[in-house]
Structure 1
């Protein structure tokens, strides 16, 4: 055989075939890889640059939120108020009890009289539970009689004069004379009748309430809740002024405090008759409140409603001060917070917040020794008294923001970080879902103004989107190209090794690989390569 591999070689060495050489477009792919790598670096550099520049921009723009303040503590205060103010409510109470008065042998029954008063409170759960003072929702008989006399309630005036006569405090003729003057609208006579309520002779009068027909109106927005003097229990309820019911109370107006001390607290819980997903305040604890701690109070003091301001709007007022002392209530284990925070009539039941924005107390008492120039000392009821009443009635309140409250806080946070577009989206949702929010329109206007002036900072979520697209459309394809090029390089290396090995291979010498060489037996000649010329000169053996 001429220049032929030994038999059996071909089948056993298919794996030694030369690898397929790399494609000619390899260099083009490498160029694309370099281009995409550079593009990725540029894109991420732009994102980081925008982020850095907007951090400064956001810091400057955030000052809009607290433009009236010059230091961080006040900035925090304004945010605390904005976060909690929508849950602060004004409460109007018409308390109409049926009761008896007894002094010695004199007994008189009273019905049809009502007290009318305002107070403050705050929503503690999305379901519409409201915390307030007990004296905001329940009045003493003295207050009922006083209001009835002011309103010229003749049946109550007649019963009261009859009681004074039975008790031997006025004569029958005086009773008749005062009644006739009151019926004619004589103001002096009405003032004299009302003044007798403080007569020391009545101090020992026993009071027994038989029942009470009370109406509670809760003002959620800035729309004023007011009494109809013609029908004191008519409040004209609507979406902004909602009726509520009394859930429970820890307060006795007749035996609440005496020389021996308190026999209870002064707290109550109301429940709005309709609606859900209300904003609410979170409840804190006195554990982290100490002497000197800062307090912020929100409420509706009556003195703020005067001839200087519009009668068509009612807004909560904020006052601040510190904890003067934390005292034990006389006669009980309850705590009282002594404070220099200004508390006025109408503030009762309003929340007092710690620096974390949690309610730690309720504005409740104002005391004075009556001496000239003596300063008033204010006290707050411990929020634990409300917590105990909630637990007693199986009412659970959230410890974290949820629903509309969470959305409101989220919008405020974005606004404060100058992410006005995103904040506007949250504020618009709040306006749609809870239009009673007194602050939302103002924040919408401020956000739109800041946005129009180019003070918008880029939302961090946008950076994540850009980076995500960079990874998806640039980095991932770049990785694919990288591994593709690596695969081609491997093929090229294998091809080069094969070519180099072939030059020195026994196959180039027309020999089989060593493992396929025939075994040379002893005394056996190796085959020789015979040329054509040699064959032509060879002698043939003779034919037989």
Structure 2
């Protein structure tokens, strides 16, 4: 009997199933299923504004170069009874024999030294500077020395005060030239592919419709100037962070004011890029991007009876591709208050660079319910929801619980509080598609990919691998098919998934084992001694 017992133990060890390692036993719900099916069709859109900033070359004028201060009088001067400090910022400090300081600002005008005290009084002196000597006389009695000073040291200059006296002047004459600098800025949002040949829906504001492009470039120029000035100040001066910020602000304001008065832009252009899939680095962004053409758009803001309101904020892009995955559009007229919905998009692109690039461009899901339907002044309805919609979500798809797109994540209103966001109804976007004769449909890539997903969720990995390989044959750039192939291959190697033909072998093994047990029982019964 021991032999037959050991045979049973070995059979259980050979044919027993292992614990799951890579693939969950739980079948995903509609939100997870849709996210898996549609994440390749939900794309990141960059609208890039570029141009060349041009302005005349410039230099800084201080009080000396402006002719308001005689450079020869700048310094610390010591007399028998008083000391006088005159700095490059036009500030003076006059200390008498009792140690009392009198402060204010000064200028020079010909041979006149004009002191304006902080108390508002103004005194005019005649001065004469020779070598290390400075003589100040009463202008009402020329030639009579009032005070004689000897140069002691350089006046410590207050950088902040000095910077405030500066002005920006244009270089004139033979040295005059134009300085130019390429600049680039833009915005990002979400879009979704609606036809296998590359038509994409998003918001018009993602496409920068109605934006003042030169104003956007000015903002970019301003940030570049701040960066330049900050770097220059940091290299030149060892000052506190607070003083550094103040000094940079003063100089920046003067330079940007000069640019606004004298500068201009050339070759202003807008390009559109669609990021398909998940890049591994910043450099990979360019390789995974497609150029897009803006085919149609509405207005972001409309005016109705003199009042501003949200417009038909829809844009249609086209990329020159084929066999693309697509979403399924539903009917927004059927959406009811209280319906659960979910949004897929790229909120990370609106964040600072605190995440890895591949995480910023990985689509995410947020869920909520329909809170209300409201009619805009323009006459069409919008769908109010508590679903979180961040700037990077703009233009992304909002789904019902059948996995159909019923809205476009579009805007929120700050004065209504947190959790009040709005979707444009998908039926509005369909009007734009109809004008272009674009049909929303899914192709063979979607069909094959979805079959592969269903097999994956049923842990039929050999079918999954075959289907996903077919997807890559049809569409080699598909960004996610390889993930399922890799996961299934690992599961197979780990013993989690058995080959289809192994199930027959297992069945035969079990039958053989049972047969052996039965045979053993018969033999034992036959050999059992008779009573």
What TM-score bracket applies, with the shorter chain setting the length? 0.5 to 0.7
Q: 1:404 to 1:322 in 2, by over 3 A?
A: same
Q: Any idea what SS the aligned residue of 2:40 has?
A: helix
Matched, 1:361 2:407: yes
Contact residue 343 and residue 378 of structure 1 kept, 8 A: yes
2:220 to 150, 161, 165: 150
Q: How many Å apart are 1:93 and its aligned residue?
A: 0.6
1:4-153 equivalence runs, <5 A: 65-66=23-24, 75-95=29-49, 116-142=186-212, 144-152=214-222
Matched residue, 2:317: 270
Q: How many Å apart are 1:309 and its aligned residue?
A: 2.3
Structure 1 Cα separation of the partners of residues 271 and 250 of structure 2: 28
Matched, 1:417 2:417: no
Matched residue, 1:336: 382
Q: Which runs of 5+ in 2 are unaligned?
A: 1-14, 53-181, 225-246, 262-266, 505-531
Q: How many Å apart are 1:91 and its aligned residue?
A: 0.6
Q: Tell me the number of residue pairs that the alignment of Structure 1 and Structure 2 aligns.
A: 332
Contact residue 462 and residue 499 of structure 2 kept, 8 A: no
Query: Aligned Cα RMSD in Å?
Result: 4.2
Q: Any idea what SS the aligned residue of 2:38 has?
A: helix
TM-score by length of 1: 0.53
CA offsets per residue over residues 140-163 of structure 1, 9 Å max, x none?
444640333323599xxxxxxxxx
Higher helix residue share: 1
Matched, 1:391 2:434: yes
Q: Which runs of 5+ in 1 are unaligned?
A: 1-53, 99-111, 155-180, 197-210, 228-234, 464-544
Q: Any idea what SS the aligned residue of 1:187 has?
A: helix
Q: 1:66 to 1:396 in 2, by over 3 A?
A: same
Matched, 1:250 2:298: yes
Matched residue, 1:260: 307
Structure 2 Cα separation of the partners of residues 459 and 414 of structure 1: 13
Contact residue 385 and residue 419 of structure 2 kept, 8 A: no
TM-score by length of 2: 0.54
CA offsets per residue over residues 42-80 of structure 1, 9 Å max, x none?
xxxxxxxxxxxx9x999x97x96556x7xx7x6332111
Matched, 1:320 2:363: no
Structure 2 Cα separation of the partners of residues 343 and 263 of structure 1: 17
Matched, 1:444 2:485: yes
CA offsets per residue over residues 485-526 of structure 1, 9 Å max, x none?
xxxxxxxxxxxxxxxxxxxxxxxxxxxxxxxxxxxxxxxxxx
**Greater relative CO (CA pairs within 8 A, separation 6+):** 1
Structure 2 Cα separation of the partners of residues 311 and 153 of structure 1: 22
Contact residue 201 and residue 395 of structure 2 kept, 8 A: yes
Q: Any idea what SS the aligned residue of 1:342 has?
A: coil
Contact residue 115 and residue 143 of structure 1 kept, 8 A: no
1:271-310 equivalence runs, <5 A: 271-272=318-319, 274-302=320-348, 305-310=351-356
Contact residue 337 and residue 382 of structure 1 kept, 8 A: yes
Higher strand residue share: 2
Matched, 1:214 2:262: no
Q: Based on CA coordinates, which of the two structures has the bigger radius of gyration?
A: 1
Structure 2 Cα separation of the partners of residues 121 and 306 of structure 1: 21
Contact residue 411 and residue 422 of structure 1 kept, 8 A: yes
Q: Any idea what SS the aligned residue of 1:118 has?
A: strand
Q: How many Å apart are 1:442 and its aligned residue?
A: 2.6
